[in-house]
Structure 1
């Protein structure tokens, strides 16, 4: 059963639910959407006092080191924020990233990868793979690196792994897709069955973001929709998703495909949780518990 705090969060999210959207409503309002997301996340985006933050040029891609005090300097998490490949930034996710750094006892490199419509697919994948190779060039060992991301960043996490594997690049020790968006074609049954219980991810708006990101690209490209990728050879995965999510089937089908390909995959479906409930960890205990679980998983597979 969800905590009272989580039930209160759900009420607040429905109260502020913007209503159905689509590509035509979104295409000329990207700037406003980005500003609104900053405002929506501002109460949860501030990292704890003492967090070490340093801007860094990641081979031409803007990034920030976001590190909890006293963490292991030899291990690193590459974090890829969510936002439908259109909105979101390090700024909107910095509180979550700092919490993950603390939980996993490692440094965290947050990436402001290029967004659509200014930079369509595969720009985000190019930036994420570039960041991983940059970490290797800095001397981090592959087995000491993990990659994680939420929503679109969760799909990007998997797309990055697929692209790195196909290029013959040594893979990280672990990866954690959080509420991942892995099917930009939107074929999951939960896109229909969960629409009345998910106040955060509305199918019309999601498909609008997919169109903005993809342009004329095929949504079934493996590095656009990793649900359709061959996952053989990927590192251990922890996939977390809430059972209220329209993206539930993206997570469950991706986990099933990974398992069928021989990947060591752990799927956690959290009861009565919304999309990326981790962002609300300062408010809801389930968010803190999920972050702690991620920290344990990363530590286990990157030590």
Structure 2
């Protein structure tokens, strides 16, 4: 009977107590992400702070990435570091996902991309290609876009057709996925089969209501950070250009799109307005807004993140 008591205590916990326990468990991850997405002032990104952010992302990826049942295959894609994440058994060799990592265009490594790349491979059963695009401020716009195009071309050379490829991205990676699609259409090339966008950054003008309304409750992002990375990536550019703010571009004929965001994030308006624009353009689009969750919550080791990833798997089954 003594051995049963801990389980009895666990069973008696109220929903509020369970939420508090999960919050305590997640606090270290939130603190790590907060540190990664920090910027002292909106105008500058201190090189020392930037180096800490990049190292922090690499470490977080290695600690959190669920690599059980996955193979990690790094290789050199031209001058870029890239890697395939493949389910160890039974994956679909006919299709793949091109994953664009987030990090405000100023940070993000292969190590960091392991988190969502491995989760995407797990729920889809597809191999996932991720790549280390050049980062600002050393390599401002359009370097990252050029690198995404090179990764896309690599898949075409490998024998995948555009209809075999899903493009996914989180945060700035969601921006990059949309800009890549804009450029492919402008070049009259075939578009990806579908888009998966997690808390996408779609509006560099920061004109959405959530930039003000969610500023106090977002546990990860700050306005200072948004302004700092925007300036580092596209200083002197027209931030309303569709190649920086894809929200404002012509979205006709874009592929079916799944967008996920949290109610407590600074960029929520970017997702809502993108959904509205896609619907206006007659593009099949599904927006999921997860209650009391934050920017790119899918990378966290928690139940709701798993549920969100499972929803991505269902969307792909329905679409492909």
Query: Is this a same-fold pair by TM over 0.5?
Result: yes
1:154 to 150, 174, 179: 174
1:275-295: CA deviation from partner (whole Å, max 9, x where unpaired): 101111xx2101111111112
Q: 1:233 to 1:39 in 2, by over 3 A?
A: same
Q: Indicate the residue corresponding to 1:195 in structure 2.
A: 215
SS in 2 for 1:74: coil
Structure 2 matches for 1:158-237, cutoff 5 A? 158-237=178-257
Question: Following the alignment from structure 1 to structure 2, what is the Cα–Cα distance between the partners of residues 59 and 233?
Answer: 31
Residue 52 in structure 1 maps to residue 77 in structure 2: no
Normalising by structure 2, what TM-score? Answer: 0.87
Q: Which deviates the most, 67-76 or 236-245?
A: 67-76
Give the C-alpha shift of residue 64 in structure 1.
0.3
Question: Following the alignment from structure 1 to structure 2, what is the Cα–Cα distance between the partners of residues 81 and 20?
Answer: 19
Give the C-alpha shift of residue 38 in structure 1.
2.8
2:133 to 90, 113, 131: 113
1:145 to 157, 165, 186: 165
- Does the 8 Å contact 1:90/1:111 carry over to 2? yes
- Does the 8 Å contact 1:59/1:134 carry over to 2? no
Normalising by structure 1, what TM-score? Answer: 0.92
- Does the 8 Å contact 1:13/1:199 carry over to 2? no
- Structure whose CA Rg is larger: 2
Residue 23 in structure 1 maps to residue 39 in structure 2: no
Question: Following the alignment from structure 1 to structure 2, what is the Cα–Cα distance between the partners of residues 292 and 22?
Answer: 38
Give the C-alpha shift of residue 215 in structure 1.
2.1
Q: Indicate the residue corresponding to 2:119 in structure 1.
A: 99
Q: Indicate the residue corresponding to 1:255 in structure 2.
A: 275
Aligned length: 299
1:24-45: CA deviation from partner (whole Å, max 9, x where unpaired): 4524332222123334444213
Question: Following the alignment from structure 1 to structure 2, what is the Cα–Cα distance between the partners of residues 122 and 102?
Answer: 32
Q: Indicate the residue corresponding to 1:267 in structure 2.
A: 287
- Does the 8 Å contact 1:6/1:286 carry over to 2? no
Question: Following the alignment from structure 2 to structure 1, what is the Cα–Cα distance between the partners of residues 113 and 308?
Answer: 16
Question: Following the alignment from structure 1 to structure 2, what is the Cα–Cα distance between the partners of residues 106 and 14?
Answer: 29
Question: Following the alignment from structure 1 to structure 2, what is the Cα–Cα distance between the partners of residues 78 and 24?
Answer: 32
Question: Following the alignment from structure 1 to structure 2, what is the Cα–Cα distance between the partners of residues 9 and 204?
Answer: 27
SS in 2 for 1:249: helix
- Does the 8 Å contact 1:21/1:202 carry over to 2? no
- Does the 8 Å contact 1:93/1:279 carry over to 2? no
1:69-107: CA deviation from partner (whole Å, max 9, x where unpaired): 221111100000000000112211203211211101111
Q: Which has the higher contact order (CA 8 A, sep 6+)?
A: 1
- Does the 8 Å contact 1:23/1:212 carry over to 2? no
SS in 1 for 2:95: strand
Q: Indicate the residue corresponding to 2:23 in structure 1.
A: 7
5+ residue gaps, structure 1, are: none
Q: 1:9 to 1:88 in 2, by over 3 A?
A: farther
Q: Indicate the residue corresponding to 1:244 in structure 2.
A: 264
Give the C-alpha shift of residue 50 in structure 1.
3.5
- Does the 8 Å contact 2:43/2:231 carry over to 1? no
